Chains A and B, each alone.
Chain A
Amino acid sequence: MSKKAKSNIEVTLIYLFLAFMAVVIGYPLLWTVGMSLNPGTSLYSAQLIPENWSLVHYKWLFTDPSSDYLTWYKNSVMVAIANAFFSVVITSFVAYAFSRYKFTGRKYGLYAFLLLQMFPALMAMVAIYLLLNMIGLLDSLVGLTLIYIGGQIPFNAWLVKGYFDTIPKELDEAARIDGAGHLGVFFKIMLPLAKPILGVVALFNFMAPFVDFLLPRIILRNPDNFTLALGLFNFISNQFDNNFTRFAAGSILIAVPIALVYLFSQRYLISGLTAGGTKG
């Protein structure tokens, strides 16, 4: 067999494998879309390509008086914005101190962050529940946001600290000669130069309330306070095959915007993670 023919076979095989992967990836996603367009609510009678497709579930989510979908959307957006903002502020404070200053406990603090970021929040759930109960923030979005902000510190402080370390110290010194103080260096040098990683942190924390269902499930009780993930989960957790099509419709409406954001920013996200996480 000539070298060229061999190469052609190889390329064909690669394309075939990639096509197979595309089917494996696409099938569940398209199946979900198909389900959401089925007029009935049961999984059993639903078809992949419904004969008489309709947008009835989408309409139900937005217009039916018994649907809390818009409230959940609003709750999630509020938690997301607060979480993204305060996480960036607090994390960049911590990261700046750890990146640029020598102080007692610095080294052990770093060790502690690295260790704590590995511990899943679930490990501390009972105590978090009791604590929120004690200060009266159980079943409230403020309590949920507080837990999110506190919980993200170890991972993100580490990430941002790694990025700050790559900003040359000569820049700080130059700014100090020009009369900038501690805060001046932080606001005029560090924050502007660290925009990419701060963007990553903001994005991750913005997304968290949309995709996390565990914490809301433990903290929130009243359907008026639900976030999207929890609300959607409840569509199907009670009567599995009764509301699946409705769940599919509601899921698509959050999956599509989130997927678009991820696809557009994936290079940014991945390079942020590798830069902050490993190079430092």
Chain B
Amino acid sequence: MSTANSTAKTSHNPRLAVILSILLAGLGQLYNRRYVKGILFIILEVSFILTLGSFLNTGIWGLRTLGTLQGVDNSVFLLIYGLISVILIAFFIVLYVANVKDAKRDAIRLRDGEKTPTFKEAARNVWDTGFPYFFVTPGLVMLAFIVILPLMFTIALAFTDYTQYNQPPRNLLNWIGFDNFTRLFFETGGAGNNIWQDTFISVFTWTIVWTVVATTLQIGLGLFLALLVNDPRIKFKRTIRTILILPWAVPAFVTILVFAAMFNDRFGAINTDILAMFDLAIPWLQDPFWTRIALIMIQTWLGFPFVFALFTGILQSISKDWYEAADVDGASRFQKFRNITLPHVLYATAPLLIMQYAGNFNNFNIIYLFNEGGPAVRGQNAGGTDILISWVYDLTFELNQYSMAAAITLILGLIVTGFAFYQFRKTRSFKEEGNI
């Protein structure tokens, strides 16, 4: 059964190679007479099992039970170890499948009488096929630990009973299924603190109103100003554009805090300097209605410049021919806007505009910095202007209702996923996916 220069089929059996490599990574490769590779795989697998075996074992046990000895086992750490184990095992499975596939491929080559590559050729081959993996690995590892693991942890937390009265390491956590969600949706008013449903409904509806109104206003104002400044009769365009873009250039946390001071009921400039002229004083920070109005105005102020800059670029790129043709046809100004300008602008920027909505949906900064979600409202455990994300922050860092916060986070995540799916459909990069 010589491999040299033989093109005839040999009796080498791919199925045997597959079975061997399933039994122990590397065995199949040895059978394929790829000795260096085979030994390398065996060493990898054995060392993986020896070094991580007990860690994985404890991890999975911890994930399943969340600890059994009160005061000794720390459920939170066990949960994290468990999730790390899951990620490592997933990684291991991917490598193992690759090993089996590799053994099969080599065995088929061998059977068909192809020459066994030399070590140098094989190394070259590994470099070529493995290159993209080498390149994504640093990013992927960071992503796994900094983004994916924390998200998995949050999801897991939503199904436990981690509250301010039940905190590790003093107490153990338990898996409680969908109880948190049931309470959130169905637990209505009554004795004690049964206020989840009321709070959830009022926060959720305000989140939607806030997202739609604030974002639409900022896009509308941005578009309107872009059209005005783009008018050929307007001079000093550069200066005007620079001024209009200023709110975007100044760091938002500074301007929001400045606005918070300006809207201060007693000392703020809005009440003492401007509204005093009309003998008015509005309780900007005390009355939820007025706080909401203030927030929407501030967000419009903060958000329109980006849209303005975006649209200005697009407007300049629309060919004049369109408008000339429309003039010949006697189109009105509104018709030109409706049928030429708007489609052009929206086509080019739709994904970025969706991002604006998604951004405001999760706009924690403005809600928290302006009035910390307040003013407080009777009968609910969120402030009058809290949106879902700032409510999550309060529940986590102020009230220590970790599990409930995680459950709300999960709902948030599902909504955000909806935004993302819309993006998938819109983004052109995806349509060109096939032709690499």
Q: Does B409 contact A (CB under 8 A)?
A: yes
Q: Is the CB of A278 within 8 A of B348?
A: yes
Q: Quick one: closest A residue to B269, CB to CB?
A: A31
Question: Pick the contact of A131 from B149, B266, B273 — CB < 8 Å?
Answer: B149
Cβ contacts B392-436/A at 8 Å (1 or 0 each):
110011000010011001001100110110011001111011001
Q: Is the CB of A25 within 8 A of B153?
A: no
The DSSP consensus for interface residues of chain B is helix
Q: Give chain A nearest CB distance to B294 CB in angstroms.
A: 12
Q: Is the CB of B139 within 8 A of A153?
A: yes
Please measure, in the bound complex, the distance between the C-alpha atom of A260 and the C-alpha atom of B146, giving whole angstroms. 32
Known: A91-B139, A119-B151, A233-B257. A114 touches B424 (CB 8 A): yes
Q: Give chain B nearest CB distance to A187 CB in angstroms.
A: 12
Interface size of B by CB at 8 A reads 100
Please measure, in the bound complex, the distance between the C-alpha atom of A43 and the C-alpha atom of B261, giving whole angstroms. 8
Known: A14-B231, A48-B269. A123 touches B250 (CB 8 A): no
What residues of B have a CB within 8 angstroms of the CB of A110 in the complex?
429-430, 433
Q: Is the CB of A123 within 8 A of B151?
A: yes
Question: Pick the contact of B420 from A29, A96, A115, A123 — CB < 8 Å?
Answer: A115
Q: Is the CB of B257 within 8 A of A247?
A: yes
What residues of B have a CB within 8 angstroms of the CB of A251 in the complex?
251, 254, 257-258
Q: Is the CB of A126 within 8 A of B261?
A: no
What residues of B have a CB within 8 angstroms of the CB of A266 in the complex?
245, 248-249, 309
8 Å CB contacts to B: which residues of A53-112?
A: 90-91, 93-94, 96-98, 100-104, 106-107, 109-111
Q: Is the CB of A279 within 8 A of B428?
A: yes
Please measure, in the bound complex, the distance between the C-alpha atom of A11 and the C-alpha atom of B235, giving whole angstroms. 10
Q: Give chain B nearest CB distance to A7 CB in angstroms.
A: 7
Q: Is the CB of A151 within 8 A of B147?
A: yes
Q: Is the CB of A150 within 8 A of B262?
A: no
Question: Pick the contact of A11 from B76, B233, B417, B428 — CB < 8 Å?
Answer: B233
Cβ contacts A123-136/B at 8 Å (1 or 0 each):
11111101100100
Q: Is the CB of A127 within 8 A of B80?
A: yes
Q: Does B267 contact A (CB under 8 A)?
A: yes
Q: Is the CB of A21 within 8 A of B244?
A: yes
Q: Quick one: closest A residue to B304, CB to CB?
A: A21
Q: Does A175 contact B (CB under 8 A)?
A: no
Q: Does B330 contact A (CB under 8 A)?
A: no
A116, A120, A134, A280, most chain B CB atoms within 10 A: A120
Please measure, in the bound complex, the distance between the C-alpha atom of A18 and the C-alpha atom of B405, giving whole angstroms. 44
The number of inter-chain residue pairs (CB within 8 angstroms) is: 267
8 Å CB contacts to B: which residues of A23-38?
A: 24-26, 28-29, 31-32, 35
Known: A151-B147, A241-B267. A107 touches B262 (CB 8 A): no
Question: Pick the contact of B80 from A130, A150, A244, A247 — CB < 8 Å?
Answer: A130
Please measure, in the bound complex, the distance between the C-alpha atom of A244 and the C-alpha atom of B262, giving whole angstroms. 11
Q: Is the CB of A119 within 8 A of B351?
A: no
Known: A44-B267, A119-B413. A255 touches B352 (CB 8 A): no
8 Å CB contacts to B: which residues of A216-273?
A: 218, 229, 232-233, 236, 240-241, 244, 247-248, 251, 254-255, 258-260, 262-263, 266-267, 270-271, 273
Known: A21-B244, A43-B261, A280-B432. A213 touches B142 (CB 8 A): no
Q: Does B247 contact A (CB under 8 A)?
A: yes
Known: A118-B420, A255-B250. A248 touches B258 (CB 8 A): yes
Q: Give chain A nearest CB distance to B336 CB in angstroms.
A: 15
Q: Is the CB of A22 within 8 A of B243?
A: yes
Known: A123-B392, A274-B349, A274-B352. A100 touches B436 (CB 8 A): yes
Please measure, in the bound complex, the distance between the C-alpha atom of A241 and the C-alpha atom of B30, giving whole angstroms. 76
Q: Is the CB of A262 within 8 A of B248?
A: yes
What residues of B have a CB within 8 angstroms of the CB of A18 in the complex?
225, 228-229, 240
Question: Pick the contact of B428 from A91, A119, A157, A278 — CB < 8 Å?
Answer: A278
Q: Quick one: closest B residue to A102, CB to CB?
A: B436
Question: Which stretch in B111-119, B128-136, B199-207 binds the other chain?
Answer: B128-136
Question: Pick the contact of A123 from B76, B349, B412 — CB < 8 Å?
Answer: B412
Question: Pick the contact of A263 from B242, B266, B313, B405 — CB < 8 Å?
Answer: B242
Q: Is the CB of A119 within 8 A of B416?
A: yes
Q: Give chain A nearest CB distance to B382 CB in angstroms.
A: 15
Please measure, in the bound complex, the distance between the C-alpha atom of A124 and the C-alpha atom of B152, giving whole angstroms. 9
Q: Is the CB of B139 within 8 A of A213?
A: no
Question: Which stretch in B5-13, B31-39, B357-365 binds the other chain?
Answer: B357-365
Please measure, in the bound complex, the distance between the C-alpha atom of A17 and the C-alpha atom of B227, giving whole angstroms. 13
Q: Quick one: closest A residue to B246, CB to CB?
A: A25
What residues of B have a CB within 8 angstroms of the CB of A180 in the complex?
none
What residues of A have a CB within 8 angstroms of the CB of B233 in the complex?
7, 10-11, 14
Q: Does B48 contact A (CB under 8 A)?
A: no
Q: Is the CB of B143 within 8 A of A25?
A: no
Q: Does A5 contact B (CB under 8 A)?
A: no
Q: Is the CB of A126 within 8 A of B131?
A: no
> 17 A-B Cβ contacts within 8 A?
A14-B233, A28-B255, A28-B258, A91-B139, A101-B132, A116-B151, A122-B389, A125-B396, A126-B396, A131-B150, A150-B145, A161-B429, A162-B429, A213-B369, A240-B264, A251-B251, A266-B249
Interface residues of A, Cβ cutoff 8 Å to B: 7, 10-11, 14-15, 17-18, 21-22, 24-26, 28-29, 31-32, 35, 43-44, 48, 90-91, 93-94, 96-98, 100-104, 106-107, 109-111, 114-116, 118-120, 122-128, 130-131, 134, 146-147, 149-151, 153-154, 157-158, 161-162, 165, 182, 210-214, 218, 229, 232-233, 236, 240-241, 244, 247-248, 251, 254-255, 258-260, 262-263, 266-267, 270-271, 273-274, 277-280
* Known interface pairs A93-B138, A115-B416, A120-B389; 11 further A-B residue pairs with C-beta atoms within 8 A, sorted by A's residue number: A15-B234, A24-B301, A31-B262, A48-B273, A98-B136, A119-B416, A123-B413, A149-B146, A150-B142, A266-B249, A280-B429
**Which A-B residue pairs are the 9 nearest by beta carbons?**
A150-B146, A280-B429, A124-B150, A127-B150, A127-B153, A262-B249, A101-B132, A259-B249, A97-B132
